[in-house]
Chain A
Amino acid sequence: MTVLDPRLRNINAAMLSNSTYNRTYNDYSRGMLQNKIDEEFYNATDVFTIQEEQTPGMLDWVNIDVRITHVLSDKNTSDKKNDDWRQLIFKDIAHNYALGVRYFFDNNYWLTVQSDYYHYPTASATIRRCNNQLKWYDSTGILRQEPCIIDDKIQRYRNEYNQYIITYEGYITVLCQLNKFTKDIVINQKFIFNGQAYKVLNIQNYFNKTTFGDDAPLLTLTMNRDMNNTENDDLADNIANNAYRVTPSSTPTIGNYILPDVTSILQGDTQQYSVFHYVNSVPDSTTFTITASGVSSNYYTLTVVDGNHFNVTNLQMSTTKLIVTCTNNTDQSTIQISITLKGLW
């Protein structure tokens, strides 16, 4: 029970508090508040168990109990959709929360977009539902998928008529967590949302959590409408430049294999190949007869090292492909590799 007479505050604090922890009246007061919340938290009808991400970017979830309340009025949401916004009220008033922290519930990712972190007696945050995903292949060829929020409004959308060909413009704002994956997003990078291509025009990664830190929790991307490339974009899975992903090389199991699967050689370069017959993923002693065709021998040099190894040197660019055929000397089966003799680049 809080003592209302200010003259008795210190007496009360000294009598009721843990002397090793509640060293000040403020500590005592916060302890009382936490006790009160602990007593009554689960009486609320809006308490739910949701998942909270522990490490930015890792989607490593831990269950927590929170109150989930409305943020926007049902009747005054303007362009914002009421169900995209919620407030979380944490049971622990010292709960470790911050901008950029992600949650998962109701089959949606949610991103913390507002917080009352500094010197506020209770812990609560405004979260926003992630309504799409940024998908891209990173520099190692791994598919990255990051939940994001595409803002409700599209800006300055129009057809650009003053050109030889009419093109469409329109600007959107995309918000996501800034983490070790999204920090690699660069200007001009293309993304596809539900079949529509957008290109990154501006990156805001500088709203730091602390004045002197390089610790911005959120990434805001401004994107302009771009164009689909039906050859390179994976429009079904919404991944731009799909053709540039790294395709894992096939692991030999059984049969004839030429490795590595390098199908183009720059002018002046030499590529080494091996050809083996595999049984249970292990190469056996079978040798091959190796021949080349398709291009005049003025354009390349084929050097057969032994029955299992050969080198191809590109002497000059060719518009037709070099075909190297390896014939299994045991069963006469063949395997081929088509090699593009490229120019200087």
Chain B
Amino acid sequence: MQYNIIAHLMQNNEDIWKILRYNDPDCLNKPNLTMNQKASLIYSGQPISTPYRVFMSAIDDSFEEQVSLLRIFPDLIIPRSRSVADITFVIQVFSHVKCQYLSNYTNRTVVLMQNVLQTLNGVDTIPGLGKIVFDRNANSYDRASLSITNNRNFTGYSIVLSTFTT
């Protein structure tokens, strides 16, 4: 599930990857990343995780750079029956407060959140998943909240989307 969602973001969004790759205010005006450049931002079990920006798990390494990160986890699985379930998953987007201001007068974490929702909400073509929605009528847990903080210098959004799958 996590792989397929990240793969969908790789194939259908450019701004997310530019924001994750570049830490300067003008990041959105940079050239699009190639698939290999996007792939190089995704952590896949290397000894030190801090050079990477996209994670499918929590990590225990300490960051030294003012960067932006995206993490994705399955969150809540509520079975309707033995064979079908409502699934919510969380995408966390957060960045260092000193690099949140972008040259187009927007906030880095807000733009990340907007792009995640724009790229995933309503999509029903991701292998292994039903239609992904950001819809409180479909799942009462769906929400985006400014709840990510390390009580020091990183803040960001926790975005809960949901799907219904077998």
List the interface of chain A (C-beta within 8 A of B).
186-190, 201, 232, 240-241, 244, 266, 268, 343-345
Known A-B contacts A266-B39, A345-B42; the reply to A241 vs B62 at CB < 8 A is no
Known A-B contacts A241-B47, A344-B39; the reply to A201 vs B62 at CB < 8 A is yes
Q: Whole-angstrom distance from the CB of B62 to the nearest CB of chain A?
A: 6
Q: Whole-angstrom distance from the CB of A244 to the nearest CB of chain B?
A: 6
Contact A188 B61 (CB under 8 A): yes
Contact B47 A240 (CB under 8 A): yes
A344 to B64, CA, bound (A): 27
Cross-chain contact of A188 among B3, B44, B50 (Cβ < 8 A)? B50
CB<8 Å pairs between A and B, sample of 27:
A187-B50, A187-B61, A188-B48, A188-B49, A188-B50, A188-B61, A188-B62, A189-B48, A190-B47, A201-B62, A232-B47, A240-B47, A241-B47, A244-B46, A244-B47, A266-B36, A266-B39, A268-B35, A344-B6, A344-B7, A344-B10, A344-B35, A344-B39, A345-B38, A345-B39, A345-B42, A345-B44
5 tightest Cβ-Cβ pairs between the two chains A and B: A345-B39, A188-B61, A241-B47, A345-B42, A188-B48
Contact A187 B62 (CB under 8 A): yes
Known A-B contacts A188-B50, A189-B48, A241-B47; the reply to A343 vs B3 at CB < 8 A is yes
User: By DSSP majority rule, is chain A's interface helix, strand, loop, or mixed?
Assistant: loop
- Interface of chain B residues 1 through 54 with chain A (CB within 8 A): 3, 6-7, 10, 35-36, 38-40, 42, 44, 46-50
Q: Whole-angstrom distance from the CB of A44 to the nearest CB of chain B?
A: 50
Total chain B interface residues with beta-carbon distance under 8 A: 19
A186 to B46, CA, bound (A): 14
Closest to B54 in A: A345
Residues of A within 8 A of B10 (CB): 344
Residues of B within 8 A of A187 (CB): 50, 61-62, 64
Q: Whole-angstrom distance from the CB of A245 to the nearest CB of chain B?
A: 11
A267 to B50, CA, bound (A): 24
Residues of B within 8 A of A189 (CB): 47-48
Q: Whole-angstrom distance from the CB of A336 to the nearest CB of chain B?
A: 26
Residues of A within 8 A of B6 (CB): 344
Known A-B contacts A266-B39, A268-B35; the reply to A343 vs B47 at CB < 8 A is no
Question: 0/1 per residue, B49-74, Cβ < 8 Å to A?
Answer: 11000000000011010000000000
A343 to B44, CA, bound (A): 11
Residues of A within 8 A of B42 (CB): 345
A190 to B46, CA, bound (A): 12
A77 to B7, CA, bound (A): 61
Residues of A within 8 A of B61 (CB): 187-188
Closest to A317 in B: B3
Q: Whole-angstrom distance from the CB of B34 to the nearest CB of chain A?
A: 10
Q: Whole-angstrom distance from the CB of A10 to the nearest CB of chain B?
A: 60
Question: 0/1 per residue, B122-134, Cβ < 8 Å to A?
Answer: 0000000000000
Contact A343 B7 (CB under 8 A): yes
- Interface of chain B residues 48 through 102 with chain A (CB within 8 A): 48-50, 61-62, 64
A268 to B35, CA, bound (A): 9
Q: Which of B39, B44, B47, B50 has the most CB of A within 10 A?
A: B47
A274 to B137, CA, bound (A): 58
